[in-house]
Amino acid sequence: MSNPGALGAAVYSPESSPANFGEDVTTFNTLRVPIIKPIDVSKLQHPKIDPKRVVQYRNDNTQFILGPMGGSFDTTIYLPGHGSTTAGATTLGLTETFLGYVLGNVAVSAAAGTTLTGGTATVPITTASGTFTPGALCRIGSINDARGNGQFAAIATHVTTNLTLLTAIDGAPNNGDVLYSAVNFYPSENPTTTQITGLRFLLLTANLCYEVHGCYPMSWTLSGFNPGEIPTCTITWGVSWWRYSTVTFPSVVATEQFQPAPTAGGSVFVQAFGTATRQKFSARNLSVTYKLGMEPLDGPGGANQYQKCVGARRTPDVIDVKFTIDADAQTLTPALDTLAIGTVGQQLLATLNPAIGAAIGVYFPNLMISQRSLQRIDKNVNRYDFVARAACSTTTTSDLTLSAMRMAFA
């Protein structure tokens, strides 16, 4: 008997190594993914191939051939932030570890948050010494304090108690202002570490259930970056092979269901690459289009007789950023046009919201403006656009300092 299609669950575990891509293992106990849309299993594939044999009668035929397995499925989740304050000890959560598989890396800015004792808007002085990672994002202060304002900041270095920022805050901090750690997601830039470890999922519905093996992220769609919206992401997973399961439903595997915060109370910092001076734009319609570079590898040696995909490699991503601002008064040098015709890359740091435990920040250290925009009518207001493509930074200290995009939860 058919049951409601809105009921379901997605449970996953990582495979043992890149070399064991698609391994035939039936443990699925790392996390029940906090999906907000039912899983559509109809996109799994096991095609039958027309044999096209030569026959002797007009309408004779022979049985179709079972082809290789494949297909895909989507997981849509909120971007909820860390789920608790990062003013103290900060460790990775289950959902954060899951999202780390998508971009490739996940790490905390520091093992614990700390406080500030003073300093300047560009070099705050910290209580803890040398604990924050270069290249990471952190969050400073609280909303409307006129200093950190609870917004994110990007870190250049933390040497002794000097926290040098790539993106200055609004004002010099007071003694006691909180410096929050954050969980940072970022892609690898190292050209020789492109191999991925596959994931396996158990996709449960109130009727049929499926095991899917050798899964890899094909695309990552971000949304909800406009004021009032809830930040979400949809991940499309490629599948190497699958089979039916008779696992118990409902699942008893643990999940995280942290409440997200709407996009509100944040800021959009835009400044020349390498310049830390605070400069904010009243940005409308902020969007990030992240096309994951991922190449499935077909070959022998699969764990299932219908498995043709035996691995996947990361290839260059394409990351585009766009936002709109209100048109300038009459001038020969409109603000965005001056950037567009210039030859200096731009850095952009967006704080989507400053809510404790639900805050989200997105940082692009080196954007190449890809379009010179003209004024247009948007919602009956004259506006024009900032359109750019992300490039990696030039600081080669680590994958984090090089990365073309960093997203942070705090």
Give pLDDT tens digits for 330-385: 999 999 889 889 899 999 999 999 999 999 999 999 999 999 999 999 999 999 99
Q: How confident is the model at residue 399 (pLDDT cuts 50, 70, 90)?
A: very high
6-15, 106-115, 185-194, 380-389: least confident range: 185-194
Give the pLDDT score at 154: 98
1-5, 215-219, 241-245: least confident range: 1-5
Q: How confident is the model at residue 30 (pLDDT cuts 50, 70, 90)?
A: confident
Residue where the block lists tokens 């959009």: 268
* pLDDT over threshold 80, residue 40: yes
Give the pLDDT score at 254: 87
Give the C-alpha separation, 62 to 51, whole Å: 7
* pLDDT over threshold 80, residue 52: yes
C-alpha neighbours within 13 Å on the C-beta side of residue 109: 33
Give the pLDDT score at 29: 87
* pLDDT over threshold 90, residue 193: no
Give the pLDDT score at 5: 86
Q: Which two tokens stand for residue 185?
A: 């997601």
What pTM, to 2 d.p., does this model score? Answer: 0.94
Q: How confident is the model at residue 110 (pLDDT cuts 50, 70, 90)?
A: very high
CB count in 10 Å sphere of residue 57:
6
Domain residue ranges of the chain, discontinuous segments joined by +:
7-18+66-410
pLDDT mean across residues, the chain? 95
% pLDDT > 90, the chain: 92
% pLDDT > 70, the chain: 100
Q: How confident is the model at residue 219 (pLDDT cuts 50, 70, 90)?
A: very high
Report yes or no: 217 and 102 within 8 Å, Cβ to Cβ. yes
